């Protein structure tokens, strides 16, 4: 047993999709969350910039005594998980891409998989590579979606949102035409707009939540290392962001359906 918290971070509110999965699957695990909402989006930055920013994110998380860190961000996982691990060899760091690729490979029937993700994730080529490794003969259709993260960060997440619907159509049209039967939500922000994507793609298409899948990987690893938290010991989760905490809290409450505001604080990430 290990009752220390799990650190989860993202460039913004997207990693809350992993938090949601963790609260459901392992409600007794304590969470320290950081969202870099002052510097989001990361998805249109260079690898070097993404590495520098996420090093600071991890430095901040490391002021807490954590048992493991989940990079709840595809962009960071795709571009710099190795650098983060090299700089933090004394703590396990788990990414989101591998578990999402495996879940998609298992779910597809026609071997046609769509990936919607940020520019930096698509350009890294990581999903295509991982999918081809686990499922020879797979056809991967990738779509960069730069307009999604700004919309989500500003709260446009309802499936009826008139600003969101045309953007979903714009990005998903090509995948629908290719008749993919699985779409990887290859950015942890996208589960927040999952309903809008499902409405457009149709209920036969399976959506893979990269944040949610990664939580299964974290829990498996904790279990293998006998590091799960004891039942009934949960401390308060803590949420931190680098931008406006009111705005962060509003989106978080909407998505998690839980008032996290009393546990949320704003920090200056540049100090780390
Ligand atoms: N949530 C992040 C991801 O999974 C990235 C969003 C961004 O900062 O562009 O890729």
Q: What does each of the 272 residues of the chain score in pLDDT, given as a tens digit? A: 999 999 999 999 999 999 999 999 999 999 999 999 999 999 999 999 999 999 999 999 999 999 999 999 999 999 999 999 999 999 999 999 999 999 999 999 999 999 999 999 999 999 999 999 999 999 999 999 999 999 998 899 999 999 999 999 999 999 999 999 999 999 999 999 999 999 999 999 999 999 999 999 999 999 999 999 998 777 779 999 999 999 999 999 988 989 999 999 999 999 99
Residue pointed to by tokens 């690729």 = 101
**Both tokens of residue 158?**
């309802």
Atom of ligand 1 at shortest range from CA of 75: 10
Query: Does the CB atom of residue 67 touch ligand 1 within 6 A?
Result: no
Q: Which residue's C-alpha comes closest to atom 9 of ligand 1? A: 43
Structural domains of the chain in order of their starting residue, each with its CATH number: 6-95+212-271 (3.40.50.1860), 97-210 (3.40.50.1860)
Asked if omega into 262 is within 30° of 0 (cis), the reply is no
- Tell me which residues are annotated as active site: 73, 187
State the pLDDT at residue 254. 85
d(CA 95, CA 93): 7
d(CA 102, CA 115): 13
Laid out side by side, the sheet with 93-94 consists of: 93-94, 68-71, 6-10, 31-35, 238-241, 264-266
d(CA 229, CA 5): 9
Query: Does the CB atom of residue 14 touch ligand 1 within 6 A?
Result: yes
Residue pointed to by tokens 């049209």 = 173
Task: Render pLDDT for 64-76 as a digit per residue (tens, 0 to 9).
Answer: 999 999 999 999 9
Residue pointed to by tokens 């940020």 = 118
Nearest to 50 by CA among 22, 87, 83: 83
Mutate to test the pocket of ligand 1, among 15, 16, 45, 73 (most ligand atoms within 8 A of CB): 73
Atom of ligand 1 at shortest range from CA of 36: 8
Q: How far is the CA of 123 from the centre of ligand 1 (A)?
A: 13
Contact indicator for 111, 121 with CB cutoff of 8 Å:
no
- Its sign, for the CA torsion 81, 82, 83, 89, is positive
Query: Does the CB atom of residue 43 touch ligand 1 within 6 A?
Result: yes
Q: Which of the 8 DSSP states describes residue 87? A: H
State the pLDDT at residue 270. 97
State the pLDDT at residue 201. 98
Q: How far is the CA of 188 from the centre of ligand 1 (A)?
A: 6
d(CA 184, CA 96): 11
Query: Does the CB atom of residue 74 touch ligand 1 within 6 A?
Result: yes
Instruction: Give CA separation, 257 vs 20, 75, 171, in Å.
Output: 9, 26, 27
Asked if omega into 41 is within 30° of 0 (cis), the reply is yes
Q: Where are the beta strands (DSSP E) in the chain?
A: 6-10, 31-35, 68-71, 93-94, 112-117, 139-144, 182-185, 206-209, 238-241, 264-266
Residues in the chain: 272
Query: Does the CB atom of residue 54 touch ligand 1 within 6 A?
Result: no
Atom of ligand 1 at shortest range from CA of 41: 8
Query: Does the CB atom of residue 50 touch ligand 1 within 6 A?
Result: no
């Amino acid at each position: 047993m290990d009752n220390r918290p799990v650190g989860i971070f993202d460039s913004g509110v997207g990693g809350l999709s992993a938090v949601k999965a963790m609260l459901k699957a392992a409600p007794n695990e304590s969470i320290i969350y950081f969202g870099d909402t002052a510097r989001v989006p990361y998805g249109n930055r260079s690898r070097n910039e993404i590495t520098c920013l996420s090093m600071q994110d991890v430095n901040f998380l490391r002021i807490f005594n954590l048992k493991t860190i989940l990079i709840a961000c595809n962009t960071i996982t795709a571009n710099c998980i190795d650098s983060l691990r090299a700089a933090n060899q004394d703590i396990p760091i788990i990414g989101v891409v591998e578990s999402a690729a495996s879940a998609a490979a298992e779910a597809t029937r026609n071997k046609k998989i769509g990936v919607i993700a940020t520019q930096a994730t698509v350009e890294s080529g990581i999903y295509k590579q991982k999918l081809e490794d686990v499922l020879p003969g797979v056809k991967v259709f990738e779509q960069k979606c730069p307009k999604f993260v700004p919309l989500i960060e500003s709260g446009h997440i309802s499936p009826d949102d008139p600003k969101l619907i045309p953007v979903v159509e714009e990005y998903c049209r090509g995948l629908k035409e290719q008749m993919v039967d699985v779409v990887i939500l290859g950015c942890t922000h996208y589960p927040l707009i999952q309903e809008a994507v499902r409405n457009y793609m149709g209920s036969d298409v399976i959506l893979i939540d990269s944040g949610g899948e990664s939580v299964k990987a974290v829990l498996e690893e904790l279990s293998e290392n006998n590091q799960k938290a004891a039942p009934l010991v949960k401390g308060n989760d803590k949420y931190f962001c680098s931008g406006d905490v009111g705005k962060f809290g509003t989106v978080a409450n909407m998505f998690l359906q839980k008032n996290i505001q009393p546990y949320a604080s704003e920090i200056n990430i540049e100090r780390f």
